[in-house]
Structures are given as structure tokens and as C-alpha cells.
Chains A and B, each alone.
Chain A
């Protein structure tokens, strides 16, 4: 996966997070933690946001994923992998 593609996925992920939260998320970086970087992102919102991202990228996340992801960067990387696997038929 090229750095350019990685960056595009990250930007799309951030844009969709902003759409979902109806907030400006310009302050978020790949190192921003999912558990404290976004004010008001409690567990229900996080779970719903993940469903929203599944819709946006037309992918399904694995069960238990949230426990393994810590940062925005982790999330974007995971999405890249799922999209690539889907496009590759895997």
C-alpha cells in the first residue's frame, strides 16, 4: 500500500468521522486516540460510528475490533486493509 493511498484512506476516514459526529475533526491526527481525542465519543457513539464507517466503505469489521484499535491511524490502516482485501477478492 503506497503512502499516497494510505493518506487518502486516512483523509476519507477523518471526513466520515466528521460527518458522523457533525463536528470539525481537523484537530485529529493518526496518533489521536479513539478513547479520548474526540469529546463526547462514548461507547454507544463509537459502536454506531463503526457501523457508519462500514456503510461508507462497504466493508464489514471483524468482531472484537474495537478492543484492538487504539488510534485513528490504527482505524484507517485497518480500513485500508479491508478495502484492499475486498477489491482483491479476499
Chain B
């Protein structure tokens, strides 16, 4: 049997639950406007901690209060609430009628810290009230697969479900594997993305012990991706789920196309379990571009991992310098963690959501709080303007603790057939 020719994979729906916006258009507008979701922690008293800031999402998720399994979802970690709501928003945004038994569809979710909030509550309950008083829902509430599992149960899906645990790269890996499955012809539709929600004391004390969190007191001044004075990141939370479809399937039903995922790369490697390395970041970026069959010159924008943790930001910048060293006109490079904080498994997918705005003509948002940029990269973190050429291809970087490195290329819908390739550039 002849192998399938590679299929094209497009984004036809975006579902967001994050601290800054619940709709793609609002996210794009607020990123451009430089709005920040960072504030003083309200969900618990940070008095014992060495940091005060988080990017918390206010309000609940109305989608989870009704419909199947609402009882279980309410008891699950907040990451599940966000994922379930984001899925329903992606489906609505995509205007698609799902077949619960579609043999060519699957769920691919990236989750890194999962139900850490519920685990913390459970341990406290055990230690204060005794083991007998532990909730029978505790295990189910914190399992990383529960974002995908409760989605499938709630929607009555018999599709395969996969949950990827790759630290901060989880979401991009999930999207990438879904992309590969559709490109190969094995699937024609996927709901894929990432979610995390760990605004809970143990997450903060743990990250503080690693010296990863900013101890700034001013919500307007942290985090500072790529800034020479960056002192750490800020914990955020959220979910971004995408409806991915094989392009012809999307075309047949007249779906709106946000863009095309044209490449995915992933590799392992780091200086240590908690430190990135420029060479390993570069390997993943190069693999991503190679998979997209694009030369570096074709990339107009990079949505960086950069979280305001100096070592990581420097490693990523070193890799970018090497990757684009032969390019006369370097791409715009930005990070949205200054707006949203670090959302861990959702960070790559939220970058992808932001990139969807750029490939549809929005400006690249400036990096917030970048006052002393690393001088190695001209125009680092600066917004694009109306006079800049349209951007057809965005690179989304995602690097996770333990040396999990991944990337995606998002291309504009009009880039088909005309993009520079490794053979023609």
C-alpha cells in the first residue's frame, strides 16, 4: 500500500482560559496593548513566602457548572476546570459538530504539574484531620490525564486520548504529536493543547527554593523576559486548546483557518535538570525548522520561552543568535510571559495562540518589562509596526525542566505554495 502523502494541518478553533483573556481576539488586543495579568496573590496569604506576585485568573469557568461530570470536574484540580472550558470554547470557536466515535480523531493534552493544588489540600487534610478524612476524589482530582479524561467522559468521546508530561514543553509536545498524527494521515482531527494551574503555596515555595521566582513587589515590574535585571519568573495559570484539522477536511466544511502548523521538532538535552543550554535549545529549534522545510530567513517572528529566569533566557538567546546568524533581517523576538506569567504546560500553546494573531496580520506584541534588553539582539522584544512586512511564519519555542525541548512553526494560511524552503531559499 502506498504511504499517505503528508497532509496539511490547520488550526480551525482556539479555546482559551487564561488570566488575560478568554477569546483569541481579546488576547491579541491585550497583548498588543501591553496589559498585564500579574498582581499580588489573592488565592492564599503569601506572607510566609519570599514572593508576592502571581498571574491569577479571576472568576470561575461557567462551562463546568453544567453538563456531564460537573460534580467530578468541580472536585478536580483547577487545571481540569480550565481544560474542559477551553475545549468547549475551541469547539464553539471552530463551529464543528464532533462525532464522538470519529475513528480519525483524538485528544492530545499537555499537563506538567497537574493537580498539585488538590494534592496540597489533601496532604493538609490528612495531617490535620487524619487519613480517614481524605477525599475519595483526591487521586482522580490530581492525575494529569484527568484534563483529557474528563473531557472525553463529558463529551462522550471514544477517541484515543493522550496526555503528555514534558514539563513546560508539555503543551507544545502534545500539539506537535497531534500535528504529526494528522500529517501522517492517521488522524484528521484533534483537540490538542496544554493546561496548568498551580497558584498554590507548595508550588511557590518549591520554585522559590529553586530560585526561579521573582521577588519583586511591584506587579508592574515582573517578570522581565530577556532583561539584564530579570530576577525570576511569576507563576501564571491557564489552558489553551486548539481544534486541529486536516486542511481538506476543514476546507470541505468551510471552516475559518487561523493558520497552518507547518513544523514540529523536539529533542532532549540540558546543562542539568534545571538549566537549559544554548546548544540544546538550538537543536530543537533547528529540528523544528527542518521539519517545516523552512530556512531561518523565512521566520518573521519568534515567540520565545523566555520567562525572566536569566540562565534560561540567555541560553535561548544564544541559540537564537546561532540559528539566525546568517540572516540579514533577523526576526522579531518576543515573550508574552511578562503579560501572562509562566503558565507551564499552557505557555507554549498560549504562545501559539498569540502567534495566530501575528500570522493573521496583528502586530507582534512587545515584551513587557524589558527595559535593559540583552544587547546581542537588535530590537529584542520590540513590537512590530504597521510598516513592517507581514509575517508568514512564526516559531514557537518551548523548553522544560529536565531538558525537554520542543518547537512549532505556525504559518499563515496564505503561505501555502509560496514559502521559502530549504531547497528554494
Contact call A45/B71, Cβ cutoff below 8 A? yes
A48–B71 alpha-carbon span in the complex (Å): 11
Contact call B137/A44, Cβ cutoff below 8 A? yes
Say how far A25's CB is from chain B's closest CB, in angstroms: 15
The contact size tier of chain B is: under 10
The reply to whether the CB of B140 lies closer than 8 angstroms to some CB of chain A is yes
A79–B135 alpha-carbon span in the complex (Å): 20
A60–B129 alpha-carbon span in the complex (Å): 12
The residue that A44 contacts in the complex, of B132, B133, B136, with Cβ under 8 A, is B136
Contact call A60/B132, Cβ cutoff below 8 A? yes
Contact call A48/B132, Cβ cutoff below 8 A? no
Say how far B128's CB is from chain A's closest CB, in angstroms: 14
The reply to whether the CB of A51 lies closer than 8 angstroms to some CB of chain B is yes
A40 partner residues in chain B, CB cutoff 8 A: 71
Say how far A34's CB is from chain B's closest CB, in angstroms: 15
* Interface-centre pick from A44, A47, A48, A51 (highest chain B CB count, 10 A): A44
A88–B223 alpha-carbon span in the complex (Å): 60
Tally chain A residues at the interface, Cβ within 8 Å. Answer: 8
Chain A minimum-CB-distance residue to B75: A48
A45 partner residues in chain B, CB cutoff 8 A: 71
Say how far B34's CB is from chain A's closest CB, in angstroms: 42
Chain B minimum-CB-distance residue to A22: B71
Contact call A51/B71, Cβ cutoff below 8 A? no
Say how far B399's CB is from chain A's closest CB, in angstroms: 38
A66–B194 alpha-carbon span in the complex (Å): 39
Say how far A50's CB is from chain B's closest CB, in angstroms: 9
Chain B minimum-CB-distance residue to A49: B136
Say how far A54's CB is from chain B's closest CB, in angstroms: 8
Contact call B137/A51, Cβ cutoff below 8 A? no
Chain A minimum-CB-distance residue to B69: A40
Say how far B116's CB is from chain A's closest CB, in angstroms: 21
Q: Mark B60-77, 1 if CB is under 8 A from A, else 0.
A: 000000000001100000
Contact call B132/A47, Cβ cutoff below 8 A? no
A51 partner residues in chain B, CB cutoff 8 A: 133, 135-136
Contact call A48/B137, Cβ cutoff below 8 A? yes
B71 partner residues in chain A, CB cutoff 8 A: 22, 40, 45
A44 partner residues in chain B, CB cutoff 8 A: 72, 136-137, 140
A22 partner residues in chain B, CB cutoff 8 A: 71
Per the 8 Å Cβ criterion, residues 131-152 of B in contact with A are 132-133, 135-137, 140
A60–B133 alpha-carbon span in the complex (Å): 10
15 contacts between A and B (CB under 8 A): A22-B71, A40-B71, A44-B72, A44-B136, A44-B137, A44-B140, A45-B71, A47-B136, A48-B135, A48-B136, A48-B137, A51-B133, A51-B135, A51-B136, A60-B132
> Residues on B close to A: CB < 8 A?
71-72, 132-133, 135-137, 140
Apart from A44-B72, A44-B136, A48-B135: 10 A-B pairs, beta carbons within 8 A: A22-B71, A40-B71, A44-B137, A44-B140, A45-B71, A47-B136, A48-B136, A48-B137, A51-B136, A60-B132
> Residues on A close to B: CB < 8 A?
22, 40, 44-45, 47-48, 51, 60
User: Would you list the 8 A-B pairs with minimal beta carbon distance, nearest first?
Assistant: A47-B136, A44-B136, A48-B136, A44-B137, A48-B137, A48-B135, A51-B133, A45-B71
